[in-house]
Structure 1
Amino acid sequence: MTLISLIGEQPIPNILPALHLKPSRLVLIYTNRTKKQALNLEKFFNQKSQPDTQIETVLIPIQNGYNLAEIADKLRPLLATYEGVAFNLTGGTKPMALAGYQLAQEKAAPVLYLETEGKRSFLYKYQFPKPFALPNLSAPVELPELICIDDYLNAFLPGYSTVGFSKAEGGRFENAIYDALNEHVDEQRAGIKPKGAGSQIDIDLMVRIKNQVAVIEIKDKHPLDEPKKGIDQLNTIGGREYLGIYTAKILVSSTKLSSDIHALAKERKIEIIELLSFRTSKKISPKDQKQLIEAITGLLTPQE
């Protein structure tokens, strides 16, 4: 199969369908605005390729992602060049999706669309029974676990290093949180430093359950210290331009935070978890452990 994917600013809608379908060829259609994402995806799939699952990547630039005629002129030769073409129309601009749909309809090529809602990812497939007909929708397929934390980071970052828990006093709190979560998440990574960010951005803890990922900022400081810094850090890390809109953001504090901080966190879609027992005993009480586990798993797993 040759999978033609339209590239937007978020890479996950391009990655999950390709990892699930395992095409022999992946064609990435991008504009000047999404060239960085396309190059990163090319690198990602080159790193993921194994001898038995080799994915050839082909990059096709488009000057104007809103010019239907230009987009169609770029896409039409691909249908003549490659056999077994399918279109993933989840990313890109709306005119790119429209042009892709029209060409798929002309050639009766399958169309795919990824929907992520309620911490679940469903792949929809539309099949045209004949050229220019209306498509039939197959039952959506819920995607299984496909990525690890390394995959997630490589999808967004040019590189990173892992240094583990902080060597300062706060490292003990980080370690305690890691231990409390260890049997309740699929994967954890402590002390991630993105390449090129210097000391400005780091990730205290990253956790994953299936294909859902969260970044956790951990604060074990006196309540008079400025907690807004943790919120600003999470807002940057989990922004559209960094680790993307699919990343959950969590601030864990050993102190009681003010109502203003809670309001700011809610506005920025950041979950606050207060584990007050650690501040006095340097241990997380069973009650606080239960609160931590329920909050994290609740954020990263589907709620019936």
Structure 2
Amino acid sequence: MHVVSLIGEQPIPCLMILRFLKPKGFTLVCSDFTRGVAQRLKKIVKANEKFLIEVSPYQLGEIRQEIFTHVRNLTDKEVTFDLTGGTKVMAFAAYDVARSLRASAYYLRSQRENVLFKYTFSKTGVIEERLDVSPDLFTLHDYLSVYLDEFKITGPCKSSPGREFEIAVREAMESTVDEIEAGVRGVGGQLDLDLAFRLGNLVGVAEVKTGKKGDEKDALEQLKSATNPKFLGTFTKPFLIIDHAWGPKQRNLQELAEAWDITVIELPSYREKGNISREDWEKLRSKISEILKGG
């Protein structure tokens, strides 16, 4: 099988479909704007044949002709299409090629749950199937690699009391998530996160702050920046985890977190007792699980 995938800003749906189908070869159709995304995907996904085609994203006729010609020249004649990414014009063009060749096509819906739709073209029309995707199609390292050219895992912060709280939070989360790493640093210093973690096919990032640092705007701004399409993308769920409860004085921060879709988890037992209580431990685990399972 050879998969022709349309590449948009967010590479995760494409990565998931390629990992799910396990083709012998694939072609990534990108624009000049998404060339970097396509190059990173091409690097990490294994296959015998890998191609990259760059098209003008809004020239329907040109896109169709380039895809059609490329597919005709492939040695593998079992070709299928991933229509999830790219521009709508790219999707129209690829759809028309798939229909004319009576090939199959896929589309991944990933807003709240990962559902893969398969469309098969025949003489009588289109046959639609819904497929459930497995929950472990990529690793945390894969996820970071398709968004970032270079990054380092540096471990917990070095200074107290932040280091101890960060370690306590990580230990509390380990049995809830599939993978977790402390200290994700983008080369060049543009990205600096305390925690990154994966549960199934969803990823979260967190800033973990104690004392006054938990009442500053900086942590929220860092999370907002991290989930920008330029860095870790809109599929990444941001969390701010603090060792105390916000009150009326932090109302402006609460409103900002809500506006930026950042989940704030308060663990006041740590400041009071120096450890995370059973109640706060359950709060942390349940909230992380709820958000990363599409809640």
TM-score, structure 2 as length reference: 0.94
What's the offset of the Cα at 1:219?
0.7
Distance in 1 of aligned mates of 2:211 and 2:35: 41
Q: Are the aligned partners of 1:123 and 1:143 in contact in 2 as well (CA < 8 Å)?
A: no
Structure 1 consecutive aligned stretches of length 4 or more whose deviation exceeds 4 Å: none
Distance in 2 of aligned mates of 1:136 and 1:236: 42
SS of the residue 2:67 aligns to: helix
The superposition leaves residues 241-289 of structure 1 with CA deviations (integer Å, 9 ceiling, x where unpaired) of 1101110000001133312111100100100011111113221111111
Which residue of the partner structure matches residue 88 of structure 1?
A: 82
Query: 1:1-304 maps to which residues of 2 (within 5 A)?
Result: 1-45=1-45, 49=46, 54-62=47-55, 64-82=56-74, 83-118=77-112, 120-130=113-123, 134-169=125-160, 170-196=162-188, 198=189, 200-222=190-212, 226-257=215-246, 258-302=250-294
Q: Are the aligned partners of 2:20 and 2:133 in contact in 1 as well (CA < 8 Å)?
A: no
- Name the amino acid aligned to 2:133: E
- Name the amino acid aligned to 1:260: N
Percent sequence identity over aligned pairs:
34
What's the offset of the Cα at 1:226?
4.8
What's the offset of the Cα at 1:193?
0.9
- Give the aligned length: 289
What's the offset of the Cα at 1:19?
0.4
Q: Are the aligned partners of 1:24 and 1:55 in contact in 2 as well (CA < 8 Å)?
A: yes
- Name the amino acid aligned to 1:252: I
TM-score, structure 1 as length reference: 0.91
SS of the residue 1:287 aligns to: helix
- Name the amino acid aligned to 2:269: S
What are structure 2's unaligned runs of at least 5 residues?
none
Distance in 1 of aligned mates of 2:132 and 2:35: 30
The worse-fitting range, judged by mean Cα deviation, of 6-15 and 177-186 is: 177-186
What's the offset of the Cα at 1:142?
3.1
SS of the residue 2:43 aligns to: helix
SS of the residue 2:194 aligns to: strand
Distance in 2 of aligned mates of 1:129 and 1:192: 48
What's the offset of the Cα at 1:302?
4.6
The superposition leaves residues 148-186 of structure 1 with CA deviations (integer Å, 9 ceiling, x where unpaired) of 110110110112111111111111100000111111211
RMSD across aligned C-alpha pairs, in angstroms? 1.5
Distance in 2 of aligned mates of 1:66 and 1:173: 50
What are structure 1's unaligned runs of at least 5 residues?
none
The superposition leaves residues 23-48 of structure 1 with CA deviations (integer Å, 9 ceiling, x where unpaired) of 11110111111111111111222xxx
SS of the residue 1:279 aligns to: helix
Q: Are the aligned partners of 1:164 and 1:189 in contact in 2 as well (CA < 8 Å)?
A: yes
Q: Are the aligned partners of 1:122 and 1:143 in contact in 2 as well (CA < 8 Å)?
A: no
Q: Are the aligned partners of 2:184 and 2:191 in contact in 1 as well (CA < 8 Å)?
A: no
- Name the amino acid aligned to 1:65: P
SS of the residue 1:140 aligns to: strand
Task: Name the CA shift for 1:226/1:201 in 2 (closer, same or farther; >3 Å).
Answer: farther
SS of the residue 1:33 aligns to: coil
Distance in 1 of aligned mates of 2:232 and 2:198: 14
What's the offset of the Cα at 1:222?
2.5
What's the offset of the Cα at 1:103?
1.0
